[in-house]
Amino acid sequence: MHKSHRISNINEAGSDGWEVFLKARQMISEGVNVTELSIGEHDVRTDKSILDAMHVSALAGNTGYAMVPGIQSLRQAIAERVQERTGVLTGVDNVLITPGGQAGLFATHAATCDPGDRALYVEPFYTTYPSTLRAQGLEAVSIPTRSHFGFQPQRADIEKFVQDARSLLINSPNNPSGAIYSHDTMSMIADVCSTHNLWLISDEVYETQIWSSRHISPRSLPDMQERTLVIGSMSKSHAMTGSRIGWVVGPPDMIRHLIDFATNTTYGVAGFVQEAALFALAQGVKFEENIAAPFKRRREMTLDILKGFKTVKAIDPQGGMYVMLDIRATSLSGIEFANRLLDRHHIAVMPGESFGQSAAGHLRIAMTIADGAYRDALRTLCQFATEFADS
């Protein structure tokens, strides 16, 4: 039977970048003890108080169809949160609740691009970016960056591909690199979007995990409110990955159209999950800081360990729960190194190539296991890299 080009072209060339991760999971299923530094999943699960709020809401009968745009109180809470943190006037009409950030990524591209349109995204990228675009029949085009610029995009690189493009997708703080786009970078991106009439889609799900520099939401820059769609999520800020609760913030007219789209795709988010998210947001900044604290601590641990090794270098991890390691001194690709590390030491990491060729010869390390195990695994990785550099 015929399959649509849209669905069969999701994973171009048959790869989605997750091969090493899947290999590690297969080893685990066969009883091998694998240390996973490969996925952005908190080692501390959703706080019991949030789960209790979800439980109480469900038992109270909040299990029917919820309003597709999201319950009013949650939309209001997110609007107030965004306004407080960005200084941009934001109301309920600027907010759509989505089943996680991934649904927001899909919806915003459906709203801004038609099949066949060119949609841009910046390397290194979260692994679903290109496949999300191809799943909608878009021409997915990546913008290269360079590790010696700290993976900050450069104007000339964007403008090479901007002709006939409809949208530009960015992610700061960045997964996988940990880079936070500077004010100069964000201003440049805003100017490119204005000059070339692009929608800017800004994935800001790591905005509560800032270790150095300062997060700037491009919606706060001059003349950007009407062309920016911001994606947020409870997954990273409140360790609610499995609850699938996120949002899109944008111009009211676009949000109205996105509500129509949601009505015909996801049909909203479970009411008891939304009530739990509302409870979680009410716990305030200190709660979010506690969720982020292990990654801040492990970042410092990482930089301290790397001082003892010349073969492995860290790209400055300014935010997020990952660190990007440059292992080009080993003369191995990220894929080769990751596979050999998994086979020899049963440590799973993500090769940089999973996030675009700009990250070739790098590894993404998720700082998502207990401190002691993380410290041991990172030291083993560095010692392993030294073997190749010395050979």
Bridge partners of 167? 119, 199
What digits encode the pLDDT tens for the residues 233-282? 999 999 999 999 999 999 999 999 999 999 999 999 999 999 999 999 99
Structure confidence at residue 13 (pLDDT)? 58
pLDDT at 310 over 60: yes
pLDDT at 8 over 90: no
CA atoms within 13 A on the CB side of 164: 8
Q: Hunting for tokens 């499995």 — which residue is that?
A: 242
What digits encode the pLDDT tens for the residues 207-219? 999 999 999 999 9
Q: Hunting for tokens 């004010």 — which residue is that?
A: 183
Are 326 and 381 contacting, i.e. CB atoms less than 8 angstroms apart?
no
pLDDT at 322 over 70: yes
Name the phi and psi angles at 319, rounded to 5: -165, 170
Span 48-54, average pLDDT: 98
**Cis amide prior to 173 (ω within 30 degrees):** yes
372: closest CA among 45, 47, 43? 43
What is the DSSP code (8-state) at residue 96? E
Q: Percentage of residues in the chain with pLDDT exceeding 70?
A: 98
- CATH 3.55.50.30 applies to domain 5-45+286-390: no
Amino acid at 337: F
Structure confidence at residue 5 (pLDDT)? 81
pTM for this model (two decimals): 0.96
Are 259 and 96 contacting, i.e. CB atoms less than 8 angstroms apart?
yes
Domain covering 48-283, topology: Aspartate Aminotransferase; domain 2 (3.40.640)
Strand pairing class (165-171; 199-203): parallel
Q: Which of 12-21, 168-177, 196-205, 240-249 is predicted with the least confidence, judged by mean pLDDT?
A: 12-21
pLDDT at 391 over 60: no
Q: How many whole angstroms separate alpha carbon 24 and alpha carbon 108?
A: 33
* Strand positions, DSSP E, the chain: 35-36, 95-98, 118-122, 139-143, 165-171, 199-203, 228-233, 246-249, 313-315, 322-326, 347-348, 350-351, 362-366
Neighbours of 338 (CB within 10 A): 29
Q: Percentage of residues in the chain with pLDDT exceeding 90?
A: 93
* Domain residue ranges of the chain, discontinuous segments joined by +: 5-45+286-390, 48-283
Structure confidence at residue 6 (pLDDT)? 83
Q: How many whole angstroms separate alpha carbon 47 and alpha carbon 196?
A: 44
DSSP 194-240: HHHT-EEEEE-TTTT-BSSS----GGGSTT-GGGEEEEEESTTTTT-
CA dihedral 143, 146, 149, 155 (to 10 degrees): -30
Structure confidence at residue 390 (pLDDT)? 60
Q: How many whole angstroms separate alpha carbon 171 and alpha carbon 230?
A: 10
What digits encode the pLDDT tens for the residues 80-123? 999 999 999 999 999 999 999 999 999 999 999 999 999 999 99
Strand pairing class (95-98; 246-249): antiparallel
Token couple for 359: 């990250």
Structure confidence at residue 339 (pLDDT)? 96
Structure confidence at residue 230 (pLDDT)? 98
Mean pLDDT score across all residues of the chain: 96
What digits encode the pLDDT tens for the residues 332-390? 999 999 999 999 999 999 999 999 999 999 999 999 999 999 999 999 999 999 998 76
